[in-house]
């Protein structure tokens, strides 16, 4: 068993040819504390950003990779998988060649949009306070 960050990876081989990695959350979701529950659902580098993009339209994985070039495809895929498992995002697989899949926000995921909007507003309003610590932000670096 391997530990990376907050996830525990179970590694096993299938037919001695393919190594498959499955993961499970190392720490269970805390249902007793509403704040910790909410944070466990959106607290990652990319989940809030993914939900913010999916609020506008369904996107294919390759489109999300272009929107977030700093994130590796594997990391984005793991984040999308968790969002789907949590019921915040829906994955649709189309039976066509080549195979195509899209991710869309669910009604439950849409209930988090006001929280994400509040985080965006707070960050916009207070960005100048953190410029000295983190450096001046360049609007050209932001991928829209």
| Tens-digit pLDDT profile for residues 13-42 | 444 444 444 455 556 677 788 888 888 888
Domains and CATH numbers, the chain: 46-136 (1.10.10.10)
pLDDT digits (tens, 9 = 90+) for 71-103: 999 999 999 999 999 999 999 999 988 889 999
Poorest-pLDDT segment among 9-13, 65-69, 122-126: 9-13
Global confidence as pTM: 0.72
For residue 68, give every residue at least 6 positions away whose Cβ sits within 8 Å of its Cβ, in sequence order, or none.
46, 49, 50, 76, 143
Secondary structure element (H or E) that encloses residue 113, with its range: helix 113-126
């Amino acid at each position: 068993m391997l530990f990376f960050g907050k996830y525990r990876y179970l590694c096993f081989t299938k037919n001695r040819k393919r190594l498959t990695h499955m993961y499970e959350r190392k720490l269970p979701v805390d249902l007793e504390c509403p704040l910790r529950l909410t944070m466990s659902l959106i607290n990652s580098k990319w989940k809030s950003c993914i939900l913010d993009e999916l609020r506008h339209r369904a996107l294919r994985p390759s489109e999300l990779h272009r929107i977030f070039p700093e994130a590796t495809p594997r990391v984005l895929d793991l984040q999308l998988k968790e969002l789907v498992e949590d019921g915040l995002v829906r994955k649709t697989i189309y039976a066509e060649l080549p195979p195509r899949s899209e991710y869309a926000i669910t009604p439950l995921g849409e209930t988090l949009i006001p929280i994400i909007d509040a985080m965006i507003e707070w960050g916009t309003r207070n960005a100048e306070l953190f410029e000295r610590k983190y450096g001046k932000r360049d609007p050209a670096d932001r991928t829209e």
